[in-house]
Each structure stands twice: as C-alpha cells, then as structure tokens.
Amino acid sequence: MHFQWYPGHMTKAKRMMQEDMKLIDVVIELVDARIPLSSKNPDIDEMAKNKSRVILLNKYDLADEKHTENWKAYFESKGYYVTLVNSKNGNGVRKVNDVVQNACKEKIERDRKRGILNRPLRAMVVGIPNVGKSTFINSIAGKAATKTGNKPGVTKGKQWIKINKTIELLDTPGILWPKFEDQAVGLKLAFIGSIREEILNIYELSIELINFLLNNYNGYLAGRYGIEENDSAIETLSRIAEKRACRIKGGELDLNKAAGFVMDDFRNGRLGNITLEFPEISETN
C-alpha cells in the first residue's frame, strides 16, 4: 500500500501555526500512545524550536503499558516533559497543568524577576488528525470548547481557550506532513484512523495488522473471535469472517466486511492493549 495525503488546507494550517508560534510560551503535542513516534509530526520540532515542549501520550488506555513507559522514558531523554492522558474519560488530564508549569519554570522565573506576575502561560496544542486533540481540550476546559469528531480534519480555524488563571490554550487544526519518507509510518497512521478511509484498501490494511498481531501479540485475535490463529493472515481473516458470519450473496465469505470488524475492534481497544511500534531500549537508558 502507498500512502500520500496532504490536502491543501493543511499547507494553510501550517503557515498559520508558524505565524502563531511567536505568540506562545509552550507547545503541547498530543501523540497516540500506540504509535508515539509515527504520530509525532516532525515539522513541529522545526517550528517549535526554542519553545518549551510537552508531549501527551494520549489514548494510553489502548496501548501496551510496558511499551508506554519505555516511550515516556525515551521522550524524556530527548528533553520533553511527558505525561499520560486519556482525553476521552479525563484520566491524567489534571496533571497537564502541573507539567506545563514545570516545563515553563524558567520563563515564569524570568517574568517574576522582571516584575511580571500572574501572566497566564500561552500554550499551543498541536497534533495530527484524529489523535484526540479536540477531545483533550474539551476535557481540560471542562466544557465543549471545540467541535470534535471521529474523522480526521474536523477541527478548523483558530481559537483561544482560557483553562484557568495560569494557562490559555491555542487550538490548531490537525496537520500531517507533506510526505511520508517511510511508508511504514503511513501504514501505522492508517491503522489508527489518521488518514481518510476513502483512500485506503480496508482488506489490505487488515491483512497488514493481522500479520503484525500474529508476530507480536499472539493469541489476541483468537481471544477476541474464538478462532484458531494461523500463520497466514489471509487464512486468519477468513476464519474471522466465518466466525462472524460475514458472507455475500451466494454464501461466499465477505473478507472486506470481516476486515472492517478487525480494524474497528483494534481502534476501539476490543482486541486488547496493543502498541504498534517500540522505542530502542538502549535510547531510554
């Protein structure tokens, strides 16, 4: 599968973010805990150099805990302030304020010495499409501050949201980067739903995911669907189709329908806690 998706509105959004960067003190970047590196936009590093940086490992409840801890250590070793959040149910969201204050402690101290007191920190919230950015903002703000949706590209425009006396958030549209140098990154983004499904082949996508699960999370598919796993991803998908009575007219197995079940079950955590990429352990020590 070849992945390339960069609508024109993303070019405009990137220019807007570059312009707004001078207004803010800290960049809060949400990444998906299942693919922390692949869901981290490399363009942000260039745009946000010289700014304090916070990374939120979002949807950690869907990821494999031991790998999430390794990722946290990995990013901290790179100089980021890191915390885990589940934007949907609010777990970990209250900690973000303290993490931001800690990330900006030098700036707060500089302001204090200049007699500037109680000025709210201005934070830009960034993240690729469908990583949970709007849900996070609504959760931390305690109200429906932004429009949310389960499809990439719902949030548009720019808005400031006052969280409390110490932080103001600038929301931004979710943007991808113009070209995936590594198609494996595109594949992982497709797995979590950050690329529009209209351009994807759901059958091929599910075969890739099943292959990964057979190699790294043996028994998860068997546990979910009550099947016997097979070395062949195609055979395993066929068994899932049979078990779920996915058939087209004439009784033939409907593998596309079964593929849809697999992808939906993965994205919603029904297959279990799964991480799709792992940090180099040597880099976290």
Residue 48 CB partners (closer than 8 Å, separation 6+): 21, 27, 124
3 state SS of 129? coil
pLDDT grade for 175, boundaries at 50, 70 and 90? low
Residue 53 parent element (H or E): strand 52-58
Contact 29, 17 (CB under 8 A): no
* Candidate ranges 160-164, 227-231, 234-238; pick with highest mean pLDDT: 234-238
Closest CA to 159 of 49, 20, 44, 57: 20
**Residue of higher predicted confidence among 199 and 279:** 279
Q: What is the mean pLDDT of the chain?
A: 86
pLDDT digits (tens, 9 = 90+) for 207-222: 999 999 999 999 999 9
257 contacts: CB under 8 Å, gap ≥ 6: 241, 244, 246
Coil, helix or strand for 164? coil
CA 7 to each of CA 17, 69, 73, 163, 179: distance values in angstroms, whole numbers, following the listed order: 16, 34, 34, 31, 12
Higher pLDDT, 190 or 174: 190
Q: What is the per-residue pLDDT for 6?
A: 46
Residue 157, pLDDT above cutoff 60: no
- The tens digit of pLDDT for each residue in 238-249 reads 999 999 999 998
| Residues with Cβ within 8 Å of residue 142, at least 6 apart in sequence | none
Q: Give me the pLDDT at residue 13, please.
A: 67
Give the mean pLDDT of 161-166: 87
Please check whether residue 258 is in contact with residue 237, taking contact to mean a CB–CB distance below 8 angstroms: yes
DSSP codes joined into one string, 83-127: EEEBTTTTBTTTHHHHHHHHHTHHHHHHHHHTT--SPPEEEEEE-
Domains, the chain, with CATH or none: 8-171 (3.40.50.300), 201-284 (1.10.1580.10)
pLDDT top residue among 134 and 84: 84
